[in-house]
Structures are given as C-alpha cells and as structure tokens.
Amino acid sequence: MAAPTVAPAGPLPVSAPPADPQRTQRRRRHPGEARAAWTLAVPFTLLFLAFTVWPVFQSLFMSFTDTKQKDLRTPFQVNFIGVANYARALGDPVFVQAAANTAYFVVVGVPLTLAIALLAAVALDKGITRLRAVFRLGFYTPVITSIVAVAVVWRFLLQPDSGLVNTVLAWFGIDGPNWLGEVKWAMPSLIAMATWRNFGTGMIIFLAGLQSVPPSLHEAAAIDGANAWQRFWSITFPLLRATLLFVSVTTAIGYLQFFEEPFVMTSGGPLNSTLSLSMYTYNQFGYGNYGLAAAMSYLIFVVIAIVTALQFRLLRENT
Amino acid sequence: MRTPPIAVLTVAALVLAGCGRPADTPPSAAQASSSIAEGPATGDLTIWAMGAEGEKLPDLLKDFETANPDVKVTVTAIPWSAAHDKFTTAITAQKTPDLAMVGTTWMGEFAGLGALDPTPSSIDKSVFFPGAWGTTEVSGTSFGIPWYVETRLVYYRTDLAEKAGITTPPTDWDGLKAMAKAMQDKAGAKWGINLQPGGTGSWQTVMPFAWSNGAQLNNGDQWTFDSPEMTEAVQYYQSFFTDGISNKAPAPNSTVEPPFVDGSQPMFISGPWEMSAVEKVGGKGFADKYTVMPMPVKKTSSSFVGGSNLAVFKNSQNKDSAWKLVQWLATPEVQVKWYQLSTDLPSVQSAWQDPALASDTKLATFGTQLKTAVAPPSFSTWEQVAAKFDTEIEKVAKTGEDVPTALKTVQSEAQSIGTGN
C-alpha cells in the first residue's frame, strides 16, 4: 500500500536552502560584476559625497570653530574653539526664549493639527458623503498654497480694526484683540494659521489609514452591540496607530523647524514672542556668525532627534 | 558606514591640524591708488545694481557710452532680497563685477573682506554731503563714493495742523510733542504721530533724536549706547508712547500712508520716497495738504542719512575705467539727470542748485537736512548691533522698560558683539 500523498496544508516549501551559503555568496561576487556595479554607482556616490556628506561634515566642523563671514575665502584658517559656540547659544537669553516659543508652538500645535486632521478624515470617511471630493480638495488646498499669499490673506483677516475675525467677533459684542500685535495673542494666531495650513496633509494620510480598516471588524462589533464611539476607540484607533505615528513624527519635525509663519507674518515680534529657533538661527547666519549659527542648527537637530525617538517609543506597536 | 572610526579620526585630526588663523594677519594695505588716468574709459565694464536702480541705470549709461565710444558697460540688475548673498558669494569666489552699487551698511563688511578698492585721492570728497561721505569710510579709509542719498524728515498734515492751531512748524523737541498732542486733542487724530515702537529699522527713527542731542554710537572701537545724551533721547522717544500720543501696538506690517491720508495719524517720520507714496494714496490735490519739516532741534538738527554707494572691486581688470564711470556718475549734471530718471536724491551738494530740485520746497528741505545728517559707523557688525537696539527700543516703547536699563543691555550686547574690526 502506497503511502497516501497528502498535499501540505501550508504554503509550499521553497526550494531547499543552499548547502553552503558562504560559497554561493563568494561565487556571486564576480570581479567584473563588482566593477560594473561601482562604475554605475560612482556618479551618485560622488554627488552624494560632494553635496550631502561634505556639507554635513563642514557644518559640523564649523560649529566647533569661530568661523565668521570674512573667513569664507579661507574656511580652514579659523580657530578651533571646542563647544564654546554651543555654550554661547545656550547662554543666550534670546535663544532660550526662541526655544520656549518653539516648544509652545509644537506642544500646542502638533496635537491640535493631529486632532483636526483626524476629525476631518473621519468626517470625510463616514459623515460627508455628498460632495466629498470638493471638501477633500478644500481641506487640502491650504497645503499647496504659497505661504506668501496665505500670509497676505491672514494678515487681512487678523487686522485689529477692520479684519474679518474681529468684525465677526464684534457682532457678538466681543472686542477682538490686536491678534498679531499683542504678546499673548501673536503665538496662538500663528498656531491657528499653521494648523489650518498643515492639517490637510495629515487628513489625507488618515483618510487612507481609515479606509484600510476592514469593514468586517466594524460589522462584527456592531452585531455585538458596540456603539459608534466604542467601535472607533477600540477598532479604528488601534489600527490607525502606525498612521498616527507617521503623521505625528512628520508634523512634529516640521513644527520644530517652523520658520515661514513668523518670517512672513510677524518678523518674530512683538517682543520676540514669535521668534522661532530656526528663525533666530537664520538671523545669525545673516549676521555672518557662521560658527554660532551652525552650532544652533545642530542643537535643533538634536532636539528633533530626541522628540522623534520619544514619539516612536510612545506610539510603537505594543507587541 | 563601514569606515573604521580610526580613519575618520585621523582625517579629522589632519583637517584640524591644518586649521587656525595665520599668526600675523597682514595689515589691510589701504593706500589709495594715486589718481585716475586722463583720457576716455575703455574696455568692458560690468556693474551690479539693485532694485529700481538696476532697471533704470542702462538708460543713464547710454550717455556715458556716447562720451566714451570704446567702453561697453553691462548692467546686471539684482533684486535687493538676493543682493547681499550674491555679493558675499561673488567676493568669496573672487568673481566680483568691476563696480557695483553697495548698500551703505555693507561697506564695513565688504571692505573688511578686502574686496573693495580704496577711493583714488583725485576724487574730491568735499563735493559730497559729509554724512554721506562718512558711509564710505571704513577705519579711516574711503572705499567708493556716495551715489544717491536719502534722509528722514517729519511729515505732517498742514490742514490738520491749522485746525490744531499750529501755523508755524515747531523747531524743538517740546514743540514737536505739543504739536502731536494738539493733533490728537484739537484735530481729531487718533494718534498724534506715527512712531515705530521698535522692530526692524526703528533705530532709523530713534537715532535722529539721539544725534540731535549730541549722542554718538561709537567712540573709536567702543560702542557708546549708555551715554546720558542717548538716554535722554530714548526717554523722549518713550514719552510719546507713555503719554498715549503714539500707538504702541500697531498691526505688524502696517503702513503709514492710509492713516496719514485719513487723518487718524497725521504725522510721521520717514524718507523722501513717502512723498510719492502718500500722494498716490491721497489722490489729486493731496500734495497741498501736507508738508515736511526738519528734525526738531535739541542741540542740533541731525537726521539719519542713508542711500547707496558706488564701489570698485579690487579684482577688477579694468579699475581705471571703472573709477572713470564712478567719477562720471558723480558729476552734478549726471546726478540731476539721474534724479529725473529715478527720483534718487543727489549725493553731490552742487546738484541741488539745479532748478529741478531747488524749485520744490519739500525737496529743498531734504537738501537742507542732508547737510547735517549723520550715518551709523561702517562696522561690519552694525546690522547685528542695530537688531539688538531695535529689540530694546521695542521693550522701551511697548512695556515701558526703564531706559537706562535697556541701554545698558544694548551696550553690553554691542560690546560683546564688537565692531568686527
């Protein structure tokens, strides 16, 4: 009696692994192939070395020297001053204020942007069925509009006497503040503008994430008696974790470097209350303090790295 | 990266070993070339100019080319926003033009980089306004000439001043303040005078008061922000805000013209370009409703002088012809013609006797003010120091910060930034 030949239930086993993987690898490394590979890679490698690796090293080097504008012709005839630039940046009260402003902007702005983006995505996914494309386009338009045009419009909206915002507030008997001219309102105004400008990107990505949630899970939960909120909180939200991580990391990186909003709207004022780290660094480059500005850039880089690592820790999959 | 760390460290060590400033920096050999040769200019010349000047200069230079048939001048127009970067890149790469229009506040920096050719001794400095000539001097050596100038005056609405009972313009500090107050009390103005409460460039409005009080920004290589004269002037400036005569919280990027025209802010301090700007907003007949007056006197009446210079670059292969072009641009007739083309005010004093300028009373006031106008020192760090000053002025105007404290802060920050020399 021949043994019954039963097809394996699982996937078919792939061909047996080679007896000696090392030898195969060695055989693949044909000298001609390697040369061809390098020849093909040389243009990219050279460009990468010249325009990516070298500037990174040069700027890092610069941050440890007293490079000023007048040293540009002789970039290596400068004095090595250790971490003095870093110490000077951290001891500069304006830099510290700019750091606090940036923290304010990120801590309020990122959650707000994420919340509104998620809300808009859920609304587009479930609530709004008619004219969905129009709303999607409408919410995304600010992302692709030039900041200069946006700034002109927002400055009109926020005009203290004749702006639309204060006109509407006046209908309800509220005397609107001088939004961009007062210390306590300038930053919230910029956060509102940045949120409005940026939530479209998050919304599109959330929308894709929402549409990948299997409807069968929702149906099963609905049959089990879960209400809409429970279904969202226990099914949709956990499945969106990876999307949330991505949107949160990219938004935080963008917001930590925020520059355009104060640059076009307030020039950092009033009283430096909207001066951001990037903008202060930009100013230092403008004054020709290249060493100091490079050190400031690396401090921003370190902060971004830390914040990103924290987000990965907090939002990673609980497996 | 597979590169062993030791290799990276070795490279880094080698790079660092090659660093360090040369022990003896050669003294900037700043002896002026003796004089400009006789005869017409020849060869090719490239000149860089910014903004409207860059667009209009080719029209003017046609005359130069007619007078010097063997010369060919190419004008490169550069937008102001990109100009500073373009200059520093060109200087670093040694690819400068033969000559260029240079912003007065850049002189210290470019001369410090060793990029500019000292002015030949045959160019007579006495024909220019002394304050404007001062902007060409870096550590005692002149690099280039003033091309056109501007200065700041007090603009006011004559019709509203009359309503406020003022028929002769005030000449001193108390008079200016009383006038602004009267504009508020009797002429229905919301704010008496539009003064910039700090922020970029506010020093240009504050310093005329300080200079008029005998204050100086520097004494040689030392900054002097905390002098009693400076303190008094800034306190006077602050009083406009504490007394509610000037708006301490205007919207950012707000302009002076609309409130000037509608009478809500019937006075401000600014330069000659505002004449056409307010007349454009005010429409027909508005030119008769306002005028300008010199800065009020404390000890003197000393306003701020700005504008642009013309400089020849050291790397130029055709320096002699470049200086000939500079000399030609500084002749009174050409300066008047340039005024008619561009409305840039002449830096050459005798050009102001031309009827094109002398017949306009407002312009003539600018001409008078220019004789005593002062420029900040040509230190390469000036813009950085000015930004610190602007920040403290903002605190003084908006939060009522104590003036001596604010100026002490500016002084210590300015001293730590240095003069860049």
**Pairs across A and B, CB distance < 8 A:** 81
Nearest CB to B384; choose among A73, A79, A287:
A287
Question: What Å distances lie between residue B194 and B13, B236, B250, CA to CA?
Answer: 58, 15, 10
CB atoms within 10 A of CB A224: 9
Q: What is the pLDDT along chain B (421 residues), one digit of tens a residue?
A: 344 455 544 555 545 555 567 654 444 444 555 578 878 888 999 999 998 899 999 999 999 999 999 999 999 999 988 898 899 889 988 899 999 999 988 898 899 888 999 999 889 999 999 999 999 999 889 999 999 999 999 999 999 999 999 989 999 999 999 999 999 999 999 999 999 998 888 999 999 999 999 999 999 889 999 999 999 999 999 999 999 999 988 887 778 999 999 999 999 999 999 999 999 999 989 999 999 999 999 999 999 999 999 999 999 999 999 999 999 999 999 999 999 998 899 999 999 999 989 999 999 999 999 999 999 998 888 988 999 999 999 999 999 999 999 999 999 999 988 887 6
Give the separation between CA A158 and CA B280, rounded to whole angstroms.
25
Contact B398 A270 (CB under 8 A): yes
Question: What Å distances lie between residue B2 and A55, A57, B5, B7, B8, CA to CA?
Answer: 20, 17, 9, 11, 11
Residue B322 is given by DSSP the state H
Q: What is the band of A156 on the pLDDT scale with cuts at 50, 70, 90?
A: confident
CB-based contact B92:B109 (threshold 8 Å): no
Give the separation between CA B38 and CA B27, rounded to whole angstroms.
31
Q: How many Å is the maximal CA-CA distance in chain B?
A: 84
- The residue behind tokens 């609530």 is A127
Q: What is the pLDDT at residue B380?
A: 86
CB-based contact B98:B313 (threshold 8 Å): yes
- Give B384's contacts in chain A (Cβ within 8 Å): 287, 289
Q: How far is A21 from chain B (nearest CA, A)?
A: 22
| Beta strands at B305-312 and B99-103: parallel, antiparallel or unpaired | antiparallel
Q: How far is B92 from chain A (nearest CA, A)?
A: 5
Contact A155 B88 (CB under 8 A): no
| Beta strands at B145-151 and B141-142: parallel, antiparallel or unpaired | unpaired
Class of residue A79 by CB neighbours under 10 A (exposed 0-12, middle 13-18, buried 19+): middle
Overall pTM > 0.90: no
Tokens of B172: 């001193």
Q: What is the pLDDT at residue B2?
A: 46
Q: What is the pLDDT at residue A1?
A: 40
Closest among B181, B205, B204 to B192, alpha carbons compared: B181
Q: What is the pLDDT at residue A178?
A: 86
pLDDT at residue A73 greater than cutoff 80: no
Q: How far is B360 from chain A (nearest CA, A)?
A: 37
ipTM of the complex: 0.77
Residue B348 is given by DSSP the state B
Nearest CB to A182; choose among B16, B200, B249:
B249
Mutate: best of B265, B384, B385, partner A, most A CBs <10 A: B384
Class of residue B104 by CB neighbours under 10 A (exposed 0-12, middle 13-18, buried 19+): buried
